[in-house]
Structure 1
Amino acid sequence: MAQSDVLLTKEPAQQAVPVCELPCKVYDVERNTGAYTSSGLATAGFRSAKYLMDEWFQNSYARYHQAFADRDQSERQRHESKQLATETEALARRTQEDSTRRLGEWLQDTHCWKSELQREIQDLEAETNLLLAEKLRLERALDATALPYSIATDNLQCRERRQHPDLVRDCVEIELLKEAELIRNIQELLKRTIKQAVNQTRLNRQHKETCEMDWSDKVEAYNIDETCSRYHNQSTDVQFYPHSVVLEESASTPETWAMFSRDNLCRAERERLASVNLRQLIDCILRDTSQDLRMQCDAVNLAFNQRCQELEDALHKLKHHLLKALREITDQEHNIAALKQAIKDKEAPLKVAQTRLYQRSHRPNVELCRDTAQFRLVCEVKELNKSLEALKEKLLEAEQSLRNLEDTRMTLEKDIAVKSNSLFIDRQNCMVHRTRYPSVLQLAGYQ
């Protein structure tokens, strides 16, 4: 068959597996000649539906090749699919194991932070309770200072009832004024410290609530992550959530997540340490104030004892002088009676001698000395006993001395009454009242 008779055309292969197409047969209509013509002149100008043997074999070979290529491609796809399924299964298993491991690590981190927050919450609660106990001590100590202040002011008011000349600003009054001022200062200090304790308690509770909210969130997140860590491929409560892979814009990062809890713990610990320092300060304040109050109370009591001792000594001396004055009055009355009897005989000389002695008896204090002049006058009295003028003068002196003694007696009795009143006020009113003074434990707020 000539080249011009039959033209076999094939398209080039576009895929990895070649595609076989049936050959097209073209006849030369004009000539219709050749060794392989199927008909003669009777069929000139018509196409034939039959193929040549070469074309049949070529077509069969093409079918064989196509079948082989399809099988090969199918086997290769099956192998690749099996390999891909194995690889994806291993990848999914590794990814799931890694996710589970990371969930476990995150659970450990969450548990650590949760434990730290729980410990800090417990420490803050315990510290707040201790601070409230110290605040209660402060309030008790403040209440306990009311009685000492009442005692001090009552003592000052009672001592205002002293009479002259005992109404003096003595050491007792000075110590009582110091005590009242000390109590007022301590009350102001305790009030300021109570306000600090209240403010610190509020801060402790505020940071405790912050830690509790953080702890609560971590507990909820821990439970969620723990539930997630228990999920597996055979779990029955899993389903598709296509939109869950989208990260929320408000989500935190591990750094900000850890920093949030760390900042909460740092602030809570800082406030807890401040509360510890405040409790130590409160304890020092209560210990110092109670000791100061008791020391001042002892100083006041000591001043009262000394003052009462002074009053007792003065009262004893006054009574002693009163007794002597009474005896002197009795003696003087006898002397006057004797002088009156002697006046009848020696009135004038006796008056002169008594007048001189009378005038010299007015010398104050230590000046009342038995000097030579005194001895001389005494001698003169003895010499002028026989003189009427001396006797009358001596009688006047004796009478004046008797009046002075009466005045002195009245003054001594009045002074004794004043001293007795002062001693009664200091000992029976003030010191008895001071026996109700609170103890150191009460002043320290323990009772």
Structure 2
Amino acid sequence: MFQKILIANRGEIALRILRAAKELGIKTVVVHSTADANAMHVRLADESVCIGPPPSRDSYLNIHQIVAACEITGADAVHPGYGFLAENAKFADILAAHNITFIGPSGDHIRIMGDKIEAKRTAKRLGIPVVPGSDGAVTDEKEAKRIAAEIGYPVIIKASAGGGGRGMKVARNEEDVVTALQTARSEAGAAFGDDAVYIEKYLQKPRHIEVQIFGDGAGKGIHLGERDCSLQRRHQKVWEEAFSPALNEEERNRIGEICAKAVADLGYSGAGTIEFLYEDGEFYFIEMNTRLQVEHTITEAITGIDLVHEQIRVASGGGLSVRQEDVRFQGHAIECRINAEDPRTFVPSPGTITHFHTPGGLGIRVDSGVYSGYKIPPYYDSLIGKLIVHGRNRVECMMRLRRALDEFVVDGVNTTLPLFRDLVGNIDIANGDYDIHWLEKHLAATE
């Protein structure tokens, strides 16, 4: 087991990792920018190192400074959390060159899954169902029209190196293809430094289903069920559930077994999430995230398995602590991402939190790194915290969530709490009847 872990992240996820490390008896080091000097994870860590000014490129994305912090403090492993350098293959390679363990998969696996075209090829080879589309990058308008006609309209053109909805354009006819191709390539080049794009069939009313997997790096893999992340705004997840209200047990087991076998065959090490669009009983691979997800908490709620403990165990060479037959699912869980944003316009709302009170009681968990008097900096993601609710079934979970949202108090900044209070009372949400377009349509209808 590791002696000391450096946490290369900030906010609630840094605090989440810190707690897991302490429970395992491992010393912790956190890095921080000058803007985060008073953050909770900095206060609670055994050691902290300031690695630069507020801009991420000068601090949390500064690989040289993070490696230097490891050497100064004697950290023998780094947990990247999510975001920042969590899916940076170069970072993983550099740590390995310095004999520091990256708590995550190999740089090679990060590269494969970070390239959407190569990821799709790999998924297909591993037996994972994929969306009909081009076999590789598309640059020629004539070729784009031919592929689109073969697939059938509408189609979506996506950036190969993309994410978060950038470099994605829908074409509903041949005329749209030319404009969509040019726009997607332009956005992809500006956002990711890579203008490669590919074409896929555009599904009309899909759900976003993802499967949590773990591999031991030696040919063993398990799945921990699925999460439904269909409630999104601009391709950003807002509300997540485990299990999905749309799947039955047969579908759940089928896609879970496919994913577990795939990561075992890949020789994958650590936590990962395989994401799908789901429509009319069929799953279509979108991408694989080679890291811990924001919404890993609801999987922990229904399995009782600490995913960060498991990440640390696998990375240290201890292998998986559970076999597939040991995994037991219980109840239903929902996570709401509470952001410092206007609940209507979603404009970020940095500032000082004057009062902060979290709900409590059976089945309630709040992951947050803020406190009364904390000043939310304007430089980073606007996530204040995550409200996670677990119940014996979905009805109990929804009732508990309603009560928890009523208790949650954040004063001094705008938050998305009013949005969730609206959603928890909506009949479509109560019935689990929604898709990836539902939230944006709902918001447009209530303006």
Whether TM exceeds 0.5 here: the answer is no
Compare the two structures and name the one with the higher helix fraction.
Answer: 1
- Bigger share in strand: 2
Q: Which has the higher contact order (CA 8 A, sep 6+)?
A: 1
Query: Max radius of gyration: which structure?
Result: 1
TM-score, normalising length: structure 1: 0.13
TM-score w.r.t. length of structure 2: 0.13
